[in-house]
Amino acid sequence: MRDAQNDTVSPEKTETTNTDLPNDVVLFGNYHLQNLLGVGASAKVYHALNVDTGQSVAVKVVSKRKLVAGGGGSAASIEREITIMRRLNHQNIIELFEVLATKTKIYFIMEFAAGGELFHAVEGKGRLDEPLARKYFRQLISAVKHCHSRGVFHRDLKLDNLLLDGNGDLKVTDFGLSAVKSQIRSDGLLHTACGTPSFVAPEILAKRGYDGATVDVWSCGVVLFALTAGYLPFNDYNMTVLYRKIYRGQFRFPRWTSPDLKNLLSRMLDRSHETRITIDEILEDPWFIAGGYIPDPVLVKEKQCEDAQTGVDCLNAFDLISFSTGLDMSGMFVDPIGSDSVERVVSEAAAEGVVERVVAAAREAGLVVKRKENEVKLEGHDDNLIALVVVYRLTDELVVVEMKRREKGCECGCKFWKDKLRPLLFELARKQEVPVTR
């Protein structure tokens, strides 16, 4: 059931990295390497034990030399993967514990999935019965829903990137090709062609732009089909033939597929992204909820956190961790000297009110204001960026106000920060705690 064309398609694809590590090594005095788990295009993954606790972890090793050789895009991809993984916090997504680095390598210390790839579980059985497939599929949809609620689109969902933990629960991994909302162009679409051939949506092949959420739904449909059929709906060693099948939506159900499952898969593998079923519709589908379905409490809580009217982003625990320097990866790729300075405060004030007060203060100081929803850019009359203020939703009652300012070559900005904006932020602060500064 392996994809006949299983190499991941990526614009930043590089040669296999020189990330071999000697056996029986202890990384940073904390992680005792055990054995090699897998090799990818740009990294190797090892099983290791935490020296202090004995906990199993997975260590992904990336070569900095290969990142440099691959150009700025490769380094940006790693930074984005780290940012994405720390943004996600879900029981069906592999957890990122910490990121470490030496002069030559970057190490992802991640949750270890003792059950290995879901593919091998399916391979051993030939196919899964519908109740077991439904269990894994529910966990997959819950994880994908969480990603989308955080503005993350996986873009490479496939059996190889679905693991099982020691309890037999599904874990989504490998966010190396994922995209975030900031990558969406002015037409509202993503445009980077990526994914794995047999799992890629037809609109990606059309190369006219695509919606990240709908291509993830398509890939989930391919996964569900493979789980219950024992083979991929679209597969051929001839790439032209394979892409023609995908583009035309040509596949056949095995005779044992139930009517409800056929209906769901047909809606997920709808070649038109405009009429394809959405994640929210999947959550109400008869096959999906059959046998009793209790909504994921994580998703229920996230739904309560949504603030569509103000467009204020929600933050999770990983976002708060990222406010400290613990997971700040900028120093691994660029010289931090001369970088912008960031301060943050927590406020009970309404997000709209915070933004309006920042705008008013900036205009009073004679600065040029450029506002986009919860983001305010402050510029001097020479078009130089002085400061950037962004408001994030923390809870229903609290927001985090982040202010990034230029430290050098901007006397006007420093004066405005010292005399106006900083006092305003602390006035808005819920408590007079010391803001995080880097």
Domain CATH number, residue 352: 3.30.310.80
Q: Is residue 3 part of a domain?
A: no
Query: Do 398 and 273 lie in a common domain?
Result: no
99 and 135 together in one domain:
no
Is 15 part of any domain? no
Judge whether residue 308 has pLDDT over 70.
Answer: no
The span from the CA of 343 to the CA of 401, in Å, is 8
Helix/strand/coil percent split, the chain, to 5: 35, 20, 40
Lowest mean pLDDT among 270-279, 286-295, 349-358: 349-358
pLDDT digits (tens, 9 = 90+) for 120-130: 888 777 899 99
Specify the higher pLDDT residue, 197 or 338: 197
Confirm if 287 and 258 have CB atoms less than 8 A apart. yes
Same domain, 244 and 328: no
Structural domains counted in the chain: 3
Distance CA 353, CA 350 (A): 5
Please name which of 2, 60, 411, 24 lies closest in space to residue 237, comparing C-alpha atoms. 2
pLDDT at residue 396, as a whole number: 60
Evaluate the CA torsion angle 299, 303, 305, 306 in order and state its sign.
Answer: positive
User: What Cα–Cα distance (Å) separates residue 409 from each residue in 138, 368, 385, 401, 406?
Assistant: 53, 17, 11, 24, 8
Domain-embedded: residue 155:
yes
For 104-143, the DSSP string reads SEEEEEEE--TTEEHHHHHHHHSS--HHHHHHHHHHHHHH
Residue 153's nearest CA partner among 173, 170, 175 is 175
pLDDT in tens, 52-109: 999 999 999 988 877 766 544 577 778 888 889 988 999 999 999 999 988 888 999 9
Q: Within this chain, do residues 276 and 351 fall inside the same structural domain, yes or no?
A: no
Is 256 inside any structural domain? yes
Q: Are residues 326 and 276 in the same domain?
A: no
User: What's 126's domain CATH number?
Assistant: 1.10.510.10
Domain-ending residue, one of 305, 338, 357: 305
Reported as a pLDDT band with limits 50, 70 and 90, residue 431 is very low
Q: Residue 369: what pLDDT?
A: 87
From 263, 289, 305, the end of a domain falls on: 305
Give the pLDDT score at 3: 55
Q: What's the token pair of residue 342?
A: 């960031």
408-421 residues labelled b (16+ CB within 10 A) or e (exposed): eebebbbebbeebb
Residue 359 lies in a domain: yes
pLDDT band, residue 136 (cuts 50/70/90): very high
Tell me what the mean pLDDT of segment 142-156 comes to.
94
Query: In this predicted structure, which of 3-17, 156-170, 295-309, 380-394 has the lowest mean pLDDT?
Result: 3-17
Is residue 422 within 8 Å of 341, Cβ to Cβ? no
| 121 and 106 within one domain | no
- 33 vs 56: CA distance, rounded Å: 10
Q: Are residues 298 and 156 in the same domain?
A: yes
Of 96-100, 235-239, 276-280, 404-408, which range is least confident? 404-408
**Domain enclosing residue 30, as ranges:** 26-111
- Output the CA torsion 400→401→405→411 (10° steps): -150
For residue 349, the model assigns a pLDDT of 77
**Same domain, yes or no, for 71 and 93?**
yes
pLDDT at residue 246 greater than cutoff 50: yes
Residues forming the active site:
156
Boundary residue ending a domain (66, 92, 111)? 111
Do both 159 and 294 map to the same domain? Answer: yes
Q: What is the structure's pLDDT at 58?
A: 95
pLDDT tier, 1 (very low <50, low <70, confident <90, very high otherwise): low
